[in-house]
Amino acid sequence: MDCVFCKIASGEIPSTKVYEDDVCVAFKDLEPQAPVHVLLIPRTHIASAADITPENSAIVAHIFEVAAKIAKEQGLEGWRIVSNVGKDGGQTVMHLHFHLLGGRSMAWPPG
Ligand code: 5GP
Ligand code: ZN
C-alpha cells in the first residue's frame, strides 16, 4: 500500500524514532508544532480514528500507554494528544496517528 506512515513503520522511509514495539511506532514530526511533537502510529494500517472498532481498539489503548510513557520520559509538565480525522478535522495522512505535543503552553480552543 502506498502509505507514507506504513513505510515509516517498516523503515522504508527514514524517521527519527523515539519508541517502537510490535504494535506501534513513535517518531518526531517533520514539521514540529511544539518543542516536543511526536507522532504515534499503529504498525497496522488503520485509516483514521473513524475506523476504530472493537477488533482494533486495544491498539489505541496501547498507543495511549506509550504516549504517557514518552511524555514522562520527555519530562513534560502537561501535554496534548490529538488525532485529526478527515477533511474538516485537518487530517493529511490517511493512516491513524496521534500527535503528542508538549514543551509549551497549549491554547484552547484549537484553531
Ligand atoms: P495530520 O495533518 O494528518 O494530522 O498530520 C500529519 C503529520 O505528519 C503532519 O504534522 C506532518 O508534518 C507529518 N508528516 C508528514 N509526512 C511526514 C514524514 O514523512 N515524516 C515525518 N516525520 N512526519 C511527516
Ligand atoms: Zn498506512
- Please, what is the end-to-end C-alpha distance for the chain in angstroms? 32
* Alpha-carbon distances of 64 from 3, 14, 26, 44, rounded to whole Å: 22, 23, 11, 16
Query: Which atom of ligand 1 lies closest to the CA of 90?
Result: 2
For CA atoms 78, 81, 87, 92, the dihedral sign is positive
> Residue 98: how many CB atoms within 10 A of its CB?
22
Distance 26 CA to ligand 1 centre (A): 12
**Is the CB of residue 30 below 6 angstroms from any atom belonging to ligand 1?**
yes
The fraction of the chain above a pLDDT of 70, given in percent, is 100
**Is the CB of residue 29 below 6 angstroms from any atom belonging to ligand 1?**
yes
Helix-then-strand count for the chain, H and E: 3, 5
Region 71-79 average pLDDT: 97
User: pLDDT tens, 17-48?
Assistant: 999 999 999 999 999 999 999 999 999 999 99
- Cis bond leading into 109, ω under 30°? yes
Distance 78 CA to ligand 1 centre (A): 22
Write down the pTM of the prediction: 0.98
Which residue carries 527514514 as its cell? Answer: 14
**Is the CB of residue 9 below 6 angstroms from any atom belonging to ligand 1?**
no
